[in-house]
């Protein structure tokens, strides 16, 4: 019996929950890249909405067409420009060699690197542009004092050089792009300059902080003002969730009552990651209790188990917030939802609340709902906080 749900990594094929509209739109925007008709795209969606899975599925389709080299680069946890440059260049090279089958290029680079530092420096002018840029990059890495901005720029130029010399186009998808915004406008200005000058490379920037990422496109002061085509990644609708769960359970020879299916949609709030996690919890419950038919009470039990399994993840997320933000999140989870009521609940001056609330809203942790009211965006995270820090209200 096959496992009906997959958790913790991007999914493809029968495990990929319906994103047909977003898939078609992104493929349409990238269709002209091999002919030099470049569109640069920004994907905007909260954590756990399946952006990484969408990128992997697009890559899979485009690699089969063999018209462009498709690179997925995960920026999560990238702390320095030097580390970004190294990992980014590695991702481009690995994707090019794997998808083009150009093993001769791979051997050429290995031979150059084996010749040592002096040979690298002296041999720059003897090869094509794409090899020269690679050698320059490796030489720069060995210098005692590295200019990180120069290193970063060389890495970002490499796909264009390689594309020109090899007559191929690149589609570079940078996931968790918001991690790089800490480098400020200087980085964005450099990136925009390079993006605009490149005719062999298209970029898809994907981010899990929609409010901050959106300002890149719609803030008139941003270097990328109106320079990227937006594709929003929202929650799944009820039909998509219930159809997917029913089909996957059926593959495991498990039936489920209609009301239980609806409850899965309600509890998951349409987040693809939570749909998969709740489905997996239900499947394991069936194995444990030797069940073949699921009811509402089974969904409730699986939901509690899912929240328990997310404890380490949610604890880390919660502890990353300063004290005042944590106090506000606890109040919100306990249905204290206006700034005045929160100030009274946590015994802080009313004036301390708005600025902190704005930070939480801009980070897409909290959202406004109704007049003057707020709530935590991720309802499952909110439920976890409630269970950990329930007040007497």
Domain identity same for 267 and 294: yes
Phi, psi dihedrals of residue 25, rounded to the nearest 5°: -65, -45
Phi, psi dihedrals of residue 232, rounded to the nearest 5°: -75, 140
Looking at residue 119, its pLDDT comes to 61
Domain count, the chain: 3
Domain identity same for 141 and 62: yes
Cα-based distances in Å from 139 to 81, 122, 126, 216:
17, 10, 15, 34
Looking at residue 139, its pLDDT comes to 75
Domain identity same for 101 and 135: yes
Domain identity same for 185 and 303: no
Looking at residue 235, its pLDDT comes to 93
The answer to whether 379 and 278 have CB atoms below 8 angstroms apart is: no
Domain boundary among 204, 232, 260: 232
Residue with tokens 């898939």: 23
| 2 occurs within a structural domain | no
Domain boundary among 217, 232, 247: 232
- Please enumerate in sequence order all residues whose Cβ is within 8 A of that of 226, keeping only pairs 6 or more positions apart, or say none: 217, 218
Q: What is the 3-state secondary structure (H, E, C) of 60-120?
A: HHHHHHCCCEEEEEECCCCCCHHHHHHHHHHHHHHHHHHHHCCHHHHHHHHHHHHCCHHHH
How many Cβ atoms sit within 10 Å of the Cβ of residue 368?
12
| 214 occurs within a structural domain | yes
The answer to whether 227 and 203 have CB atoms below 8 angstroms apart is: no
H helix count then E strand count, the chain: 18, 9
The answer to whether 134 and 97 have CB atoms below 8 angstroms apart is: no
The answer to whether 182 and 112 have CB atoms below 8 angstroms apart is: no
Looking at residue 309, its pLDDT comes to 95
How many Cβ atoms sit within 10 Å of the Cβ of residue 266?
14
Residue 287 burial by Cβ neighbours in a 10 Å radius (0-12, 13-18, 19+): exposed
How many Cβ atoms sit within 10 Å of the Cβ of residue 95?
21
CATH number, position 118: 3.40.50.300
Domain identity same for 28 and 151: yes
For residue 31, give both structure tokens.
């269709």
Domain identity same for 226 and 244: no
Looking at residue 1, its pLDDT comes to 64
| 14 occurs within a structural domain | no
| 11 occurs within a structural domain | no
Domain identity same for 203 and 340: no
| 279 occurs within a structural domain | yes
Domain identity same for 328 and 300: no
Instruction: Return the ∠ at Cα 225 (arms to 220 and 229), rounded to 5°.
Output: 140
Q: How far apart are CA 296 and CA 75, in angstroms?
A: 40
Domain boundary among 206, 232, 258: 232
Q: How far apart are CA 113 and CA 142, in angstroms?
A: 12
The whole domain housing 262 covers 238-309
Phi, psi dihedrals of residue 202, rounded to the nearest 5°: -115, 145
CATH number, position 300: 1.10.8
| 8 occurs within a structural domain | no
DSSP annotation string for 329-346? HHHHHTT--SHHHHHHHH
CATH number, position 350: 1.10.10.10
Looking at residue 302, its pLDDT comes to 97
Domain identity same for 25 and 111: yes
The answer to whether 391 and 329 have CB atoms below 8 angstroms apart is: no
Domain identity same for 225 and 247: no
| 111 occurs within a structural domain | yes
Q: How far apart are CA 12 and CA 278, in angstroms?
A: 18
Domain identity same for 112 and 244: no
Domain identity same for 175 and 60: yes
pLDDT tens series, the chain, 393 aa: 678 999 999 999 999 998 999 999 999 999 999 999 999 999 999 999 999 999 999 999 999 999 999 999 999 999 999 999 999 999 999 999 999 998 888 887 777 777 665 665 665 555 566 777 777 787 778 777 888 999 999 999 999 999 998 999 999 999 999 999 999 999 999 999 999 999 999 999 999 989 989 999 999 999 999 999 999 999 999 999 999 999 999 999 999 999 999 999 999 999 999 999 999 999 999 999 999 999 999 999 999 999 999 999 999 999 999 999 999 999 999 999 999 999 999 999 999 999 999 999 999 999 998 888 999 999 999 999 999 998 754
For residue 159, give both structure tokens.
């796909």
Instruction: Return the ∠ at Cα 273 (arms to 269 and 277), rounded to 5°.
Output: 95
Looking at residue 104, its pLDDT comes to 86
| 100 occurs within a structural domain | yes
């Amino acid at each position: 019996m096959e496992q009906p749900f997959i958790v913790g990594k991007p999914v493809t094929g029968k495990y990929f929950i319906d994103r047909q509209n977003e898939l078609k739109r992104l493929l349409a925007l990238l269709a002209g890249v091999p002919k030099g008709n470049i569109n640069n795209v920004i994907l905007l969606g909260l954590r756990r909405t399946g952006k990484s899975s969408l990128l992997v599925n697009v890559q899979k389709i485009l690699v089969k067409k063999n018209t462009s080299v498709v690179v997925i680069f995960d920026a999560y946890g990238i702390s320095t420009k030097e580390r970004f440059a190294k990992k980014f260049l590695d991702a481009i090279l690995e994707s090019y060699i794997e998808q083009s089958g150009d093993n001769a290029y791979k051997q050429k680079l290995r031979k150059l690197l084996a010749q040592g530092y002096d040979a690298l420096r002296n041999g720059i002018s003897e090869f094509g542009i794409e090899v020269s840029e690679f050698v320059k990059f490796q030489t720069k890495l060995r210098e005692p004092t590295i200019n990180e901005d120069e290193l970063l720029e060389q890495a970002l130029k490499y796909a264009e050089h390689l594309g020109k010399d090899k007559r191929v186009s690149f589609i570079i998808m940078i996931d968790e792009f918001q991690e790089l915004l800490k480098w400020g406008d200087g980085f964005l200005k450099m990136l925009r300059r390079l993006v605009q000058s490149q005719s062999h490379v298209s970029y898809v920037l994907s981010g899990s902080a929609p409010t901050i990422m959106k300002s890149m496109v719609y803030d008139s002061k941003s270097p990328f003002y109106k320079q990227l085509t937006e594709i929003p990644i929202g929650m799944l609708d009820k039909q998509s969730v219930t159809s997917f769960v029913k089909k996957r359970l059926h593959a495991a020879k498990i039936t489920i009552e209609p009301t239980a299916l609806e409850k899965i949609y309600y509890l998951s709030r349409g987040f693809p990651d939570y749909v998969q996690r709740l489905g997996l919890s239900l499947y394991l419950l069936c194995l444990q209790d030797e069940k073949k038919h699921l009811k509402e009470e089974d969904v409730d039990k699986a939901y509690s188990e899912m929240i328990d399994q997310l404890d380490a993840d949610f604890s880390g997320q919660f502890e990353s917030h300063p004290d005042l933000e944590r106090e506000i999140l606890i109040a919100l989870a306990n249905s204290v939802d206006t700034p005045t009521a929160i100030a009274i609940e946590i015994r802080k001056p009313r004036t301390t609340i708005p600025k902190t609330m704005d930070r939480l809203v801009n980070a897409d942790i909290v959202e406004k709902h109704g007049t003057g009211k707020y709530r935590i965006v991720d309802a499952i995270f909110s439920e976890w906080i409630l269970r950990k820090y329930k007040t007497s209200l």
